[in-house]
Amino acid sequence: MFHHRHHHLNHDKVLAIVPAYNEEEGIEQVIASLQKYAPYADILVVNDGSTDDTGLLAENAGAAVLHLCSNLGIGGAVQTGYRYAAENGYDYAVQIDGDGQHDPADLAKLLCCMRKTGADMVVGSRFIEKEGFQSTFARKLGIDLLGGLVTRLTGKRITDPTSGYRLCNRRAITLFAQQYPTDYPEVEALVMLDNCQLSFQEIPVVMKERQGGVSSISPLQSIYYMCKVILAILMMKTRKKKVWEMSHET
């Protein structure tokens, strides 16, 4: 399955981390799409305590699978993937949602941007060129607010801070393997990176609507969520900048 890898990307080892919780409807399609459009990447499905056949289907489709015995949530599942990437010497690791929203064909663009800019993390944004599924009005409003806040706190423009489509280099993999936020990981991870003097860059991607399941969050819950995320980012921002560098050197 991985025999194409060395014809591409100057022998760099690339890992696709697919966090999956009860994604039996779409997981095979995600894996097949990665095998087709990013054959140079190894695939790791982090089966986050699924109660359906997600893990079995992923194994049968040819992915490496880590089975978590309980549901850790997206932050814990993704960190498990970064630990695996760090321990196995991967040069790059990309997060790909298990529900089919992200297009593996865009991975080459993310890698190309990382090589060109030297960024430690490249985030795929659906809002730069406004193509594909754009989210609901209220949700988009919230994302804009968070994007504005993260942009101000880090001094780097971000339009899609909740995007889970992100590529990390060795430095970011090492950091996230050691510590990764669990509450609102996508947004907090941007501030955490910046705290550690690592850089991120955003490029346009087209996302599809989630393939299965729907979100049923009430307006009141969204406001509550927003307040909590904002608090979490502000708290993350107050953390000392030197902490990681010291632990990294020892």
CATH of the domain at 121: 3.90.550.10
In a domain, residue 35? The reply is: yes
What is the reported pLDDT for 3? 41
Number of domains in the chain: 1
Most confident region among 14-28, 133-147, 232-246 by mean pLDDT? 14-28
Strand 166-169 versus strand 14-20 pairing type? unpaired
In a domain, residue 125? The reply is: yes
How far is 117 from 99, CA to CA, in rounded Å?
29
- The strand order across the sheet containing 166-169 reads 64-68, 41-48, 14-20, 92-95, 166-169, 121-125, 200-204
Q: How confident is the model at residue 38 (pLDDT cuts 50, 70, 90)?
A: very high
HEC letters along 118-141: CCCEEEEECCCCCCECCCCHHHHH
To the nearest whole percent, how much of the chain has pLDDT over 70?
A: 86
In a domain, residue 33? The reply is: yes
Nearest to residue 15, comparing CAs of 101, 113, 87, 81? 81
What is the reported pLDDT for 243? 53
In a domain, residue 244? The reply is: no
In a domain, residue 144? The reply is: yes
pTM recorded for the entire structure = 0.88
In a domain, residue 233? The reply is: yes
The DSSP bridge partners found for residue 87 are none
In a domain, residue 2? The reply is: no
Domain span at residue 199? 14-238
In a domain, residue 121? The reply is: yes
Give the tens place of pLDDT for each residue, 2-11. Answer: 444 444 556 8
Give the tens place of pLDDT for each residue, 61-120. Answer: 999 999 999 999 999 999 999 999 999 999 999 999 999 999 999 999 999 999 999 999
Count the Cβ atoms, other than its own, within 10 Å of residue 47. Answer: 28
